[in-house]
Amino acid sequence: MNAFTLSRGPNREDKKYFTSGDPDTLFSDLQEIGHGAFGAVYCALDERPKSETRGQNVAIKKMSYAGKSEKFTDIVHEIKLLERLRHKNIVRLEECFLKEKDHMVWIVMEYCLGSASDLVDVQPGRLLESEVAQIVRDVLLGLSYLHSTEVIHRDIKAGNILLSENGLAKVADFGSASNKSSANSFVGSPYWMAPEVILAMESGRYTGAIDLWSLGITCIEIADRKPPMFTQNAMAALYQIAQSDPPTLDQNADWSHTFHSFVSCLLKKNPEERFTATEALQHSWFKDNRENPQELVELIDRTKRLVREQDEKQITMQYKKMLRIYKGGD
């Protein structure tokens, strides 16, 4: 697209990705459930007359393309990519709407409960190793599919892994993805970035192997509650990733030898030595932790209970504060 096309906004070619009509009349009860760089994500009730999920929840990512014209190109890029992906471990895109008047795009997706990062934040302690394995296996199945279609995700981290009510983990957020089997731009979130992405600034291209490195970091993030070097600033972390030995799981925690071995196979600095997604799925860690979506369903239930308890505690605290204010008690 040249600058002239961009200044005109969406053109006819772009418009084929969008359903016509006003989405305001098709979805109700919008509630904000997530926030990202672009805007917000909402949970909404699907009232589309012919929808298979009519009467159920959907997620709507509202993205503004006001201001910079490249924003619209980026949004269409994300939609084009997601549209052709169909896998149980990839968040499903349902439909997109264009609200030209407001310079907004609505991306309607299958509804998930929250991210693996939310899950870790809510839990007071560590997850069980078998729970971590359930999440990681699902992400690998998603990645193995993505890489077979020549897509590199480029932003794998717990915040971009969503959990569904029936106990599946799904890869989400294709805002940084590349639709070629190799790429060279400096894209991703710093702490999760593979060494060759940092070095690609000087030395050429990288492949889907970068997602496996980021998944190794995500294993540490989910298991030990933060990615390595999270207390350092992003620039210092990038320097360390490129210069130092690969990080490991917390050696003082109770993680099994097999889990340590699995993570070290993902965190190989040389991408050629790193496991592919398909190889990683064969690791004995997954033989020790058999596939069991029910385990994630139970973890999600436990998390929901914790959120409710925390909400109630906060209400009680607010109530006590009000009593103090109105009655002057302590």
| Residues with active-site annotation | 155
From 237, 217, 176, select the one nearest 38 (Cα to Cα): 176
Q: How far is the CB of 43 from ligand ATP (least distance, A)?
A: 7
Cβ-based nearer residue to ligand ATP, 110 or 224: 110
Q: Does 208 bind ligand ATP (CB under 6 A)?
A: no
Distance CA 322, CA 317 (A): 9
Chain residue whose CB lies nearest Mg ion: 175
Here's the x/- map for ligand ATP, 27-66, by CB under 6 A: it reads as ------xx-xxx--x-----------------x-x-----
Q: How far is the CB of 155 from Mg ion (least distance, A)?
A: 6
Q: From start to end of the chain, where are the E strands?
A: 27-35, 39-46, 57-64, 93-99, 104-110, 114-115, 161-163, 169-171, 182-183, 206-207
**Cα–Cα separations (whole angstroms), residue 221 to 263, 282, 290:** 12, 22, 22
Burial of 52 (0-12, 13-18, 19+ CB in 10 A): exposed
N residues, the chain: 330
Given 18, 65, 106, 111, the residue binding ligand ATP (CB under 6 A)? 111
Distance CA 25, CA 48 (A): 8
Other beta carbons within 10 Å of 1 = 14
Q: Which does 59 bind (CB under 5 to 8 A by kind): ligand ATP, Mg ion, none?
A: ligand ATP
Distance CA 109, CA 85 (A): 12
Cβ-based nearer residue to Mg ion, 230 or 319: 230
Cβ-based nearer residue to Mg ion, 175 or 247: 175
Contact 285, 266 (CB under 8 A): no
Contacts to ligand ATP from residues 114-143, by CB under 6 A:
114-115
Q: Does 115 bind Mg ion (CB under 5 A)?
A: no
Q: Does 158 bind ligand ATP (CB under 6 A)?
A: no
User: Three-class SS of residue 213?
Assistant: helix
Here's the x/- map for Mg ion, 147-176, by CB under 5 A: it reads as -------------x------------x-x-
Q: Does 112 bind ligand ATP (CB under 6 A)?
A: yes
Q: Which residues bind ligand ATP (CB under 6 A)?
A: 33-34, 36-38, 41, 59, 61, 91, 109-112, 114-115, 159-160, 162, 172-173, 175
